[in-house]
Amino acid sequence: MQQSDIKNKNNSADISSAEKSTENSASLELRNVCRGFGDEWSREEVISDFSLSINPGELTVLVGPSGCGKTTLVNMLAGFDKPDTGQVLLNEKLITGPGMDRMVVFQETALMPWLTAYQNVVFGPKIRNDLPGRELKKKADYLFEKVGLVEFKDKYPIQLSGGMQRRAELARAMINDPLVMIMDEPFRGLDAMSRELMQEFFVRLFEENRRTNIFVTSEIDEAIFLADRLIVLSNRPTSVRKIIDIKLPRPRELNVLSSTEAYKYKRDAMELLHEEALKNFKRSTPKADS
């Protein structure tokens, strides 16, 4: 009894802190979205009749078997791509194209190689010209301190390690004060050690202001460690296989993954993912199976 009380308290504290920052947070919704590729005669539906709503101030993690259309979903949320039918909504308003209310951190680094880390970070405000020079510098300096790259401000991306590039990219996204952050397998390609460090760094960053965040990954541990809500996706055509609310306490440290709760979540999700992967496998090798 007592324990559940404490939990409730924790939860309510979480909610109130989430509510505090809802004005710079937003909800996203996908309504009956369909998207296919190819010509009429060789068309493949990647996503058909997909609906999902993403709550404000939550870290929603999408996991799914590889090639299941996660990046297509991200592109539509970001506005780089449009659904064939259905709607993508940000705060109940139709998304028609890319915008700075939604910042994307890409799979491979998208820092511009011809700009220094600092120039990359201030790129957005500079071209929009919406911040006076001194304030921009202050904000950028603050963010560089936050991501721990102060000494590397004037380095070009190629001089930074993979993890540093990722942090610079986070700073570049955050300086635009987006309502939503969309991360498409952002830590892919990092070695295991820096990946863990980045996960811990990122979870702290998120817990600080609880900005609505969509995080796509194919790593189940990463998903459970970060998520408020875990969306397990099915194979193509993509649908929501299951939504798992991850109720691990926050603030989180990596050792939370060794708790029995985390293990249970992991087992559930793995089972579903395994089923989905198996379907894919069977489909691609029909003869051997029958």
Partner 1 sequence: MTDAVQSKSISSVSKKKSKLEKMLTNKSLWRGVVALIGAIIFWEVCSQSKVWFGVEIPWIGKVPPPTEVIAAWQKILHYTGYWESWYLSTGRVFAGFTIAMIIGIPFGLLLAVNRYFRDVFFPPFEILRPIPPLAWVPASIIFWPTTEMSIAFVTFLGAFFTIVINVLGGARSIDVQYLRAAQSMGANQWDLFWKVILPGTLPSIWTGAAVGMGITWEVVLASEMISGGGQQGGGGLGFFIWSSYMGGTVAQVIVGMISIGIAGYLSSSFIRYLGVITMPWRRLF
| In contact, 241 and 270? CB cutoff 8 Å | no
The SS3 assignment for 136 reads: helix
| In contact, 53 and 87? CB cutoff 8 Å | no
Residue 72 Cβ vs partner 1, minimum distance, rounded to whole Å: 14
Binding residue (CB under 8 A) for partner 1 from 36, 98, 237, 249: 98
Residue 119 Cβ vs partner 1, minimum distance, rounded to whole Å: 10
Q: Which is nearer to partner 1, 100 or 270 (CB)?
A: 100
Which residues in the 22-61 window bind partner 1 by CB under 8 A? none
Interface with partner 1, residue 162, by CB under 8 A: no
CA-based nearest residue to 63, from 190, 222, 182: 222
Which residues in the 58-87 window bind partner 1 by CB under 8 A? 78-80
Q: How far apart are CA 113 and CA 99, in angstroms?
A: 22
- Residue in the block written with tokens 């969309």: 182
Q: How far apart are CA 235 and CA 47, in angstroms?
A: 10
Residue 85 Cβ vs partner 1, minimum distance, rounded to whole Å: 23
Q: Which is nearer to partner 1, 104 or 262 (CB)?
A: 104
The SS3 assignment for 235 reads: coil
Q: Which is nearer to partner 1, 115 or 256 (CB)?
A: 115
| In contact, 178 and 211? CB cutoff 8 Å | yes
Binding site for partner 1 (CB under 8 A): 78-80, 98-100, 102-104, 106, 108, 110, 112-115, 123-124, 127-128, 152, 156-159, 161, 172, 176
